[in-house]
C-alpha cells in the first residue's frame, strides 16, 4: 500500500528565506509524485509533478522538488519565500495501475513572516 | 476552457436529510474522483468513476454514500441521512484518459455542514 508522510504540520519562515517542506513516500512500485497547494477555502492547485522523467522537477511560482529514490523523498523547496506563498501544501502519490487515485499526506501549513 | 465545477459551494443540512453534491469535469475529461477533507486532515480518496462506471469505491463508507457519473450530466455524490460526522469539504477532481491520466485537476469544493 502506498503512503505519504509530511514532516511538520506547520512551518514558519521569514520573507526571503528558504522554504523546505518535507515529504517521504512509501510505494512498492515506481511512484508518480505531486505537490499541491491549497489557499484558504479554495481547491487544490497542482504545483509540480514527478512522472519518472527528470528527478529535479520545476513547478509554478518558483517551487521545485527533487525525487530521491534512495531516500524515498520528494521535498519541496523555494529559494526565497514570498508573503503570497502562505498556504497549505500537500504531497501526494499515485501509480499507474493503482486505480490512479491520489494518496495524500496530511499537509503542511506554511506561514511567511514579514 | 472552464475548470472543474462543483455546486453548491456551501451546503447546510440537518441531521437525517440528504445531501447531493455535483461535479462537472473539465471539458474532455472522462475520469472523475471524489475526495473528502476533514478538519486538520489531508484529503482522503472516496471514489473513482468513469462515464457510467464505478472503477474504485474503496474509500467510500459502506452505508449512506453513493456516487454516479451518468452518460450525460455531472457526477453526483449522494449522502443519505447525514450525520454531524459528515461535515467536511468534498472535492471533485477530473483527469483525461490516456496521456496525462495522472494529472488531476481539482474543483473548488463543496463545504457541507450538518447541523
Q: Is B32 on the interface with A (CB under 8 A)?
A: no
Q: Is B108 on the interface with A (CB under 8 A)?
A: yes
Nearest to B48 among A46, A49, A100 (CB): A100
- Residue of chain A whose alpha carbon sits nearest to that of B6: A43
- pLDDT, greater one: A76 or A99: A76
Which band of pLDDT confidence, cut at 50, 70 and 90, is reported for residue B53?
very high
DSSP state of A101: -
DSSP state of A83: G
For residues B60 and B86, what is the distance between their CA atoms, to the nearest angstrom?
12
Q: Is A101 on the interface with B (CB under 8 A)?
A: yes
Are the C-beta atoms of residues B19 and B86 closer than 8 Å to each other? yes
Residues found in chain B: 115
Q: Is B10 on the interface with A (CB under 8 A)?
A: no
- Tell me what the mean pLDDT of segment B3-30 comes to: 96
Can you read off the three cell numbers belonging to residue A80?
526565497
Which band of pLDDT confidence, cut at 50, 70 and 90, is reported for residue A29?
confident
Helix then strand then coil, in percent of chain A rounded to 5, is: 10, 50, 40
Q: Is B33 on the interface with A (CB under 8 A)?
A: yes
Can you read off the three cell numbers belonging to residue A93?
502519490
**CA-closest candidate to residue B16, choices B86, B99, B68:** B86
Which band of pLDDT confidence, cut at 50, 70 and 90, is reported for residue B74?
very high
In the block, cell 522538488 appears at A65
Are the C-beta atoms of residues B57 and B67 closer than 8 Å to each other? yes
Q: Which residues of chain A have a CB within 8 Å of the CB of B93?
A: 44, 102
Amino acid at each position: 500500500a502506498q503512503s505519504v508522510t509530511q514532516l511538520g504540520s506547520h512551518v514558519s519562515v521569514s520573507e526571503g528565506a528558504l522554504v523546505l517542506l518535507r515529504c517521504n513516500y512509501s510505494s512498492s512500485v515506481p511512484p508518480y509524485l505531486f505537490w499541491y497547494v491549497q489557499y484558504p477555502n479554495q481547491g487544490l492547485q497542482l504545483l509540480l509533478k514527478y512522472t519518472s522523467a527528470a528527478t529535479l522537477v520545476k513547478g509554478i511560482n518558483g517551487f521545485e522538488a527533487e525525487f530521491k529514490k534512495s531516500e524515498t523523498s520528494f521535498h519541496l523547496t523555494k529559494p526565497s519565500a514570498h508573503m503570497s506563498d502562505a498556504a497549505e501544501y500537500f504531497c501526494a502519490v499515485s501509480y499507474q495501475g493503482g486505480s490512479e487515485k491520489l494518496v495524500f499526506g496530511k499537509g503542511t501549513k506554511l506561514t511567511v513572516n514579514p | 476552457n472552464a475548470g472543474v465545477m462543483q455546486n453548491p459551494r456551501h451546503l447546510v443540512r440537518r441531521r437525517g436529510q440528504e445531501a447531493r453534491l455535483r461535479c462537472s469535469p473539465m471539458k474532455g475529461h472522462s475520469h472523475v474522483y471524489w475526495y473528502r477533507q476533514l478538519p486538520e486532515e489531508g484529503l482522503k480518496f472516496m471514489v473513482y468513476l468513469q462515464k457510467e462506471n464505478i472503477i474504485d469505491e474503496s474509500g467510500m463508507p459502506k452505508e449512506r454514500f453513493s456516487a454516479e457519473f451518468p452518460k450525460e450530466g455531472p457526477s453526483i455524490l449522494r449522502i443519505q441521512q447525514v450525520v454531524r460526522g459528515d461535515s467536511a469539504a468534498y472535492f471533485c477532481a477530473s483527469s483525461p484518459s490516456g496521456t496525462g491520466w495522472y494529472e488531476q485537476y481539482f474543483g473548488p469544493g463543496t463545504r457541507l455542514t450538518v447541523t
